Copies of this chain bind each other. A is one copy, B any other.
């Protein structure tokens, strides 16, 4: 085979696989010559062959592009559907099934962890991004290195101040979202085989991190109304060499519950008496419905034992992936962990958020957002009351955008997840929130969407699916078992 034919065949393969979609630009002849070390003639011949095959076309003064008619885009790969019935479901698979629904634009995402992007001031943040990133000099580039952009860290320190706390700029490490702050903290504080305390139910990423790091866990029950069981925690601390505790003390995911101040104080005191660090996930802190911010456990910390992890992903700019850890006595060590895993958070994103915080009207936006979320909460809970079986119980949180719904005992939430997805609706089934696949009669629903007839209809559909389940579900198939 001639050289130009080989080249043409390689490109053909990419086009046929859809990697080069219709309209995509093909390298210029000059670039191609340089890249392959071939003559312009070889490239021309290859491109000519591709043109004859109808795969690319040359546009005068523009270059070569994949033809619109080259190939129908391959159909979206169909999700491996879990058939209902007795098939064993791998919990970890289930997490990814739920996560992937986030990318399906056509799904009504009641199972999503994000609120509606229409609620974010994306245009204003985009304006900040465009304004500050038009150029970048040496100082700016290195300024993004750990612990992170100085101006952004100052703004975060200021926000702590506004919530009544003094957190020095030095203590703040910018991360790629709160998730990285959390995982870096766990990595830092534990060695394989160590014991860590987590919640039950818990944020699924905690489970994954623990599995990855080879840790042993003690799970502390979280009551949807009263919160974390501190007596269980006291027992755990007495009987196990606990190295760290990973809790969400405000607007807990998935239950929505918030520990009251006296219990937060008790939690911090209890951990301090055993010298155990608290990794506090507080990503919904800005979304409080009350007039004053909810205090984090960090507020009560006197020993520097609380690593407070926050983010702008849930309340301002999800795609930017800018979060932080206020590391207490571990700040220096966390900074090193950051150097060694992903280096700095993206500098353009850090600069954009810093600029927005200073000039964008963040507080005005949050004020409005909180009212909207509170209204949407009422609308969601009303709809659940109208459409779900009588003995359904849904939590009413003081902030955030989740309600944790306890369904009648005969309903299996994994089967509901699958059935709902067939109707174009996602829910977050209870079993993704624990290591042992518990909470099969729970779902987490997201009310971070502006209320609409479609949303009302989606909740009605879920209610109807629950009713179906009550009529025939138990007869048709036993509950799906987690491994």
Q: Show the binding face of A for B, using Cβ within 8 Å.
A: 10-11, 13-14, 17-21, 24-25, 27-28, 30-32, 34-37, 96, 99, 102-103, 105, 116-118, 122-123, 125-127, 129-131, 133-145, 154, 157-158, 161-164, 166, 168-170, 175-177, 179-180, 183, 187, 191-193, 205, 208-209, 212-214, 291-293, 313, 318-322, 336-337, 339-349, 352, 358, 363, 367
Residues on B with beta carbons closer than 8 Å to the beta carbon of A133: 126, 129-130, 133, 348, 352
**How far does the alpha carbon of A322 sit from the alpha carbon of B363 in the complex, in Å?**
31
**B157 lies within 8 A of A14 (CB):** yes
Q: How far is the CB of A12 from chain B (nearest CB, A)?
A: 11
**A177 lies within 8 A of B20 (CB):** no
**B363 lies within 8 A of A347 (CB):** no
Q: How far is the CB of A23 from chain B (nearest CB, A)?
A: 11
Given the interface contacts A154-B19, A162-B32, does A346 sit within 8 Å of B319 by beta carbon? Answer: yes
**How far does the alpha carbon of A358 sit from the alpha carbon of B122 in the complex, in Å?**
24
**A35 lies within 8 A of B321 (CB):** no
**How far does the alpha carbon of A349 sit from the alpha carbon of B321 in the complex, in Å?**
10
**How far does the alpha carbon of A391 sit from the alpha carbon of B410 in the complex, in Å?**
82
State the number of copies, please.
Answer: 2
Residues on B with beta carbons closer than 8 Å to the beta carbon of A10: 161, 164, 166
Given the interface contacts A193-B192, A291-B34, A320-B348, does A136 sit within 8 Å of B130 by beta carbon? Answer: no
Chain A's interface: helix, strand, loop or mixed, by majority? Answer: helix
**A342 lies within 8 A of B339 (CB):** no
Tell me the nearest residue of chain B to A104, going by C-beta.
Answer: B142
**How far does the alpha carbon of A122 sit from the alpha carbon of B292 in the complex, in Å?**
43
**A36 lies within 8 A of B320 (CB):** no
Residues on B with beta carbons closer than 8 Å to the beta carbon of A143: 103
Residues on B with beta carbons closer than 8 Å to the beta carbon of A340: 205, 208-209, 212
Residues on B with beta carbons closer than 8 Å to the beta carbon of A349: 346, 348-349
**How far does the alpha carbon of A193 sit from the alpha carbon of B213 in the complex, in Å?**
11
**A319 lies within 8 A of B14 (CB):** no
Q: How far is the CB of A22 from chain B (nearest CB, A)?
A: 12
- From B31, B116, B127, B139, A363 is in contact (CB under 8 Å) with B31
Residues on B with beta carbons closer than 8 Å to the beta carbon of A318: 141
